[in-house]
Structure formats: C-alpha cells, structure tokens
Structure 1
C-alpha cells in the first residue's frame, strides 16, 4: 500500500511517537509511506520513504495514496480544509479525550471552543481510530459509531544503550540503595496527578519519588514537596530526551493520571517488567486487570498507599505478569499490523 501520514511536526511527543512506530512497522513490511508535517522540528527519526514540510495552503497529491492518515488538531483541520479535493480514504487517530485534555492543558473556554471545532473536523474523516472502547463511547457523541475503530497503542523499544553520565548514574544508583524508587516519566501537568504521590510520601518513609519530565506544574510540585517536608525524597530530574533510560532504576512505576488516552510510558514500564500502580480511570481498567497492575481510587490517599505497599510485597509476581502482557498485547508490531488490516478494509470500501 501507499500511505500518506500528516503530522504537526517530527516532535518527540506521544502521538508522533505512535505514528512513527506505525510507520516503521509498515515500511519493514514493504509498504510505501510518505510523511508530511507543518513545523520544522526534527526530534525523531522516521523510516519513511520520504518526509517533507508543507504549509496549510499547500495541496499534497492525495490521489497517489491508498490512505491518508492524520494525527492531531492541525492535520485534522488540513484534511477538513482540503476535503473537497480528496477522493482517497482519510482517517485520523484520536490520542486524547478532546475536551478533558484541553481543559487540563488550558481552560474551559479553550476546551469548549476548540473542542467544538475539532469534532467538526472529525466529521470529514472516513474513519476515526481511538485507543480504547471507553474512548469510542466518548466520541460517539459526535461521530457515528460505525466510523470509529479501537486499536490499542503498542511500542517496541530498541536497545539505545546508556546516555546517562556516570555522575548521574551514580547518584541514582545511590538513591536506589537507600530507598524503594517510585517513578514517573511524564509531562508535568495537573492531568498527570503527580501531586497525589507527593502527598502520600510522608506515609512511606522507605520510599522516594523520581520524576522525569518538565511542564508548567513543575514549580507547583516542588513547592508541594517542601510543604509536605519530603523535598529530600523527591527528585525532579527535568526533561530528558530518552526518558526510557531511567526505567531500569525504577522499582515501582506510578500512573497517577486523572485522564489519559493510552500513555506510552505505561507501555514502556510493562515492556521492562516494572510493577505498576494505576489510577482507576476507565482506560487502565479496560486494558489491565488486577493480575497485571494494582489500582487506586483517584484523590484517595489511603487507596494509593495500599496500592503501593501491596504491589511492593509482590514485585516479582507483578513484574512477570505485566511483562508477559506486554509481549502478548502491546508491541508495536501488533499495533502496526492492526492498522494495516484496518487500512485494507477502508481502502476496499467504495
């Protein structure tokens, strides 16, 4: 097949990483993939047949492709804007819950305005991929259910070696000898729920919290750690291009989110067999069971305390279970082949 991907930029962000992994799987299987993007930001490498920057006014040769697959608000707007020139089947992947994500990231006004516009753009798509059955139900408010298909995210992780400096590595290994390391690798926003871990840390004297990532909530989280007198056990590492390098230093991974699409860091933790605690939001309870992870109730400190301490006693068991689950359900190859089957069905529809 010949497929065009339209992306906002080649940025090291979750939705773009997912698109990259789909592309790499399809190229390995002999398909031709051309990538078009709007912003000159080369943070990730693609195995695509070609890639080039375009403008919103520019019309790509749509008729050359079997499928055009967009990811994100601007690419979806681009399809909506040029739809009258497009006979090729178009699809998009929704990586988030539009209104909730915009509300957490900006405010209610932005969520209402851009949520309305984005859902309008989606109606011009022939097919909409979502990341869970719960997300499918959410989008049926605006789109017919027969146009929506669920494909779980997946990832594969090549061995990238160790890019941590020796002094960084020594600091973290020293920490690991003194404490059980709770870890979070994420953009620091309120939606990620990291404040919940800080608030529970006084009740967990043998534990420390390692936070890798940056964002507008970082200063607030640092102040919260001081307020709860746990700043000596909260390590805010900041942004690192290869956050995955920290996974092997984490004893228990924390997914504390108040809202999520399908977080890639959770898949990576699973791939490395790291015991994981998840908030009890629908996406996590749909994908996992209590055999693979432990759950806690959002904003409930006692529930989070119990989830952390209980998984700590059975770390080896949970490590084995979540690693096996990853191999069976969450690899990039599984995801990529699911998209390929969907593309073939879509292209065959008259």
Structure 2
C-alpha cells in the first residue's frame, strides 16, 4: 500500500506523535509519505527515510491558499501513486476528499479530540468516509453531535513507543532526584485548556504541606511566559521547574513519580499511556477520553476539573502510602500491556486499510 499521512503540522503534540508512530509501524512493508506545514517531528521522519511534503497552514481561509493546498495534495497523490490518504485534521480531510473526486485515492480520517464545536464542518468533512476515533467518547460525540453514521466509525485506542534511544535528561531533574525529592510532573502543551494554571495551584498548595515534593512541567506553548512570570512573582522557583518540550519523554518518566493531567478537553491523550508503560501513576481530570485510560484507584485517580484539593490529596496519598503506590504502579504496566498494546493497534489499522481497498 502507498499511504499518505496528512495533518496540519508535525510538532511535538499527541496527534503528531501518532502519525510518527503509524509511519514507523507501516514503513517496512508499505510506501509511506507525510504532508504537513512542518514541525520538529519532520526530523524524525527524515531519520527513518520517510518523505515529507510541505503544505500551507490549513487555518488560512484565503481561497488562493486553499486552492494551492488542493493542488499540492493532488500532485503528491499522483506522483507518489497514493492508494490511501489518512488524514488527522478536519481541514486536511476535507481537502483530501475534494482531491479524491479527481483521483482514485481513498480517504480515512482519525478523530483525536472530543470536539465541542464546528459540528457542521465536521459532518461535511467526515461524512461517507471511514473514521477512526481514539476513544469511545469521541465516537459518541461524532454520532450524536455531528450526525455521522455509526457504521463508518471504529474506535482504536492509541499506543506509544515504550522505549527511547535518546538518553539526555535535563540536569535540573537529575539533581532533584539525586537529592531524593519525589517528582510530580505534567507533560503537555502549555495552553490554558491543558489546565496549566491549575497545575501551578496544585504545586503551590502541595509543597506547602510537603517540602519533599517537587513539580516539573514538560512542554512549550503560548502560556509559557505568563507561567514564568507567575512562578517568579510568587517565589515558586524552587518548587516548580519549567523544563521545556522534550522528544524523549519515556526517558524522563524514569525520573518521575507521578504524572498529572489537568486538562479540560482531550481525545485519548498519549501522556498517560507513556506514564503507564513505565509504571508511573496518573492523576487526571475525569473527562471524556482520559477516563477510558485512567481507572480510578487502579492505575491512578480521577478528579473533577479544577479540583486542586483532590489533586493535592491524591499526590500526598501516593507519597505517604508506598504499598498503595506499588499496587497502582504494577497495575499501570498490566493495563498498558493488555489494553493499549501495539499489536492490536497495528491489526485494527490494517483491517481498515484492506477493507477500504477491497484487498
């Protein structure tokens, strides 16, 4: 099969990591091509000798840019003899569907978020094509809110790479572990809907009760400077460490004791899966998608959005009760291997690809 994976960008987000994962998994026996407006993960594609084509930012509503993107996708499809375009963004899916009208290419879409808006656009983009959702919640929303046909939608839980060759770790984290501190981390883009300001509040209140706990935030985003200012103004520099975006999270998790996920909206976030693979418990907001990964009191804890007190309570519980921590840590690995394994992920994608191509 010749497969084109297409998305708005190829930064360090969860969607982009999924595309990289698919590219690696299917590159051996198939021809894989990726198209996006670029980003850091294009370097990883280059390492595994996967060709990347640049498209124009699909957020642009300029008719000329839309036309240019249609031409780019059409040319890729013809030149690379693409059989399937597997899109991971609504606009790239819509553009791909238009291109499919002039070629024999088939189009598949993966819905990563539990969307809350633009249901008409979603219907137009995804109607009458196979759709993969990363959670049952995302599937339900597409059926109920975007009026899509259930028979065209399949849920495939994400998987992740549970090993990494890049060993480099920020010296600040290594220093904290060497001094014996208990490390609590959030790993996410630094945007408001990831609950990054709640993370600061959790850290502030928890460290007031226990000075042996330190907090680290791994990620980058538009709220970074504001967070830096808050940490400085409230004199939290020795309690909260902003380590920046990392491309070897699996290695970092070897030095982390608990992962927090303070998000207000997700699809099926990769961070809990990465944490589970390393036996790291997750305390997360009880929201669609995430609550299909985190099983309360089994591999972590679920709390209400913005419930700073409950985040603090469960951090201290895990810190103070080593027997409970070990029980949850062991469950993390078991649940990851049983529910989010790579073999199941590959098989379900192959089945969909073969079905759409009638092979």
TM bucket normalised to smaller = 0.7 to 0.9
C-alpha distance in structure 2 between counterparts of 1:40 and 1:238, whole Å: 20
Aligned position for 1:249 = 255
Deviation at 1:309, TM superposition (A): 2.0
Aligned position for 2:193 = 191
C-alpha distance in structure 2 between counterparts of 1:10 and 1:89, whole Å: 22
C-alpha distance in structure 2 between counterparts of 1:51 and 1:116, whole Å: 31
Kindly indicate whether residue 86 of structure 2 is the aligned counterpart of residue 69 of structure 1: yes
Alpha carbon RMSD of aligned pairs, Å? Answer: 2.6
Deviation at 1:259, TM superposition (A): 0.8
The structure-2 alpha-carbon separation of the partners of 1:229 and 1:329, relative to structure 1 and needing over 3 Å to count, comes to same
Deviation at 1:87, TM superposition (A): 3.6
The answer as to whether partners of 1:63 and 1:86 remain within 8 angstroms in 2 is: no
The answer as to whether partners of 2:218 and 2:246 remain within 8 angstroms in 1 is: yes
C-alpha distance in structure 2 between counterparts of 1:65 and 1:155, whole Å: 26
Kindly indicate whether residue 150 of structure 2 is the aligned counterpart of residue 145 of structure 1: yes
C-alpha distance in structure 2 between counterparts of 1:49 and 1:298, whole Å: 40
Spell out, residue by residue over 1:99-129, the C-alpha distance to the aligned partner (whole angstroms, 9 max, x if none).
Answer: 4xxxxxxxxxxx65xx643442222x51111
Spell out, residue by residue over 1:254-279, the C-alpha distance to the aligned partner (whole angstroms, 9 max, x if none).
Answer: 11111111222221111111121111
C-alpha distance in structure 1 between counterparts of 2:157 and 2:325, whole Å: 26
The answer as to whether partners of 2:163 and 2:250 remain within 8 angstroms in 1 is: no
Aligned position for 1:276 = 282
The structure-2 alpha-carbon separation of the partners of 1:74 and 1:36, relative to structure 1 and needing over 3 Å to count, comes to farther
Aligned position for 1:129 = 132
Instruction: List gaps (5 residues or longer) in structure 1.
Output: 100-110
Q: 2:35 pairs with 37, 60, 66, which one?
A: 37
Deviation at 1:15, TM superposition (A): 1.4
Spell out, residue by residue over 1:47-97, the C-alpha distance to the aligned partner (whole angstroms, 9 max, x if none).
Answer: 476554465113123995543211223421321332322444321101113
C-alpha distance in structure 2 between counterparts of 1:49 and 1:283, whole Å: 30
TM value normalised by structure 1: 0.84
The structure-2 alpha-carbon separation of the partners of 1:61 and 1:210, relative to structure 1 and needing over 3 Å to count, comes to same
Deviation at 1:10, TM superposition (A): 4.1
The structure-2 alpha-carbon separation of the partners of 1:44 and 1:11, relative to structure 1 and needing over 3 Å to count, comes to farther
The answer as to whether partners of 2:196 and 2:262 remain within 8 angstroms in 1 is: yes
Aligned position for 1:7 = 7
The structure-2 alpha-carbon separation of the partners of 1:62 and 1:152, relative to structure 1 and needing over 3 Å to count, comes to farther
Kindly indicate whether residue 240 of structure 2 is the aligned counterpart of residue 231 of structure 1: no
